[in-house]
Amino acid sequence: MLAIRLAPEIEERLEALAARTGRTKTFYAREAILEHIDDLEDLYLAEQRLGEVRENRSETISLQDVIKSYDLAD
């Protein structure tokens, strides 16, 4: 269970959206959280990989090599 406080203007927007669509505020809050969590996980993974590359703990592959490896050239 999670309880959050929203600014009044956000609460109003959420209520209006729920009323227009017949869905619950909980539905839209859950959807927004899930979408944002996906974005944050991608961001933190990218930052981790970038750190590994900069510290020479991970190899990189050039785009040209990927194209050749998968026979993607025109």
User: Under a CB-based contact definition with an 8 Å cutoff, are residues 5 and 12 in contact?
Assistant: no
pLDDT tens digits, 16-64: 999 999 999 999 999 999 999 999 999 999 999 999 999 999 999 999 9
pLDDT tens digits, 50-61: 999 999 999 999
Number of helical (H) and strand (E) elements in the chain, helices listed first? 3, 0
- C-alpha distances in Å from residue 14, one per residue of 6, 37, 47, 56, 62: 10, 19, 32, 46, 45
Instruction: Please tell me the chain's helix, strand, coil percentages from 3-state DSSP, rounded to the nearest 5.
Output: 70, 0, 30
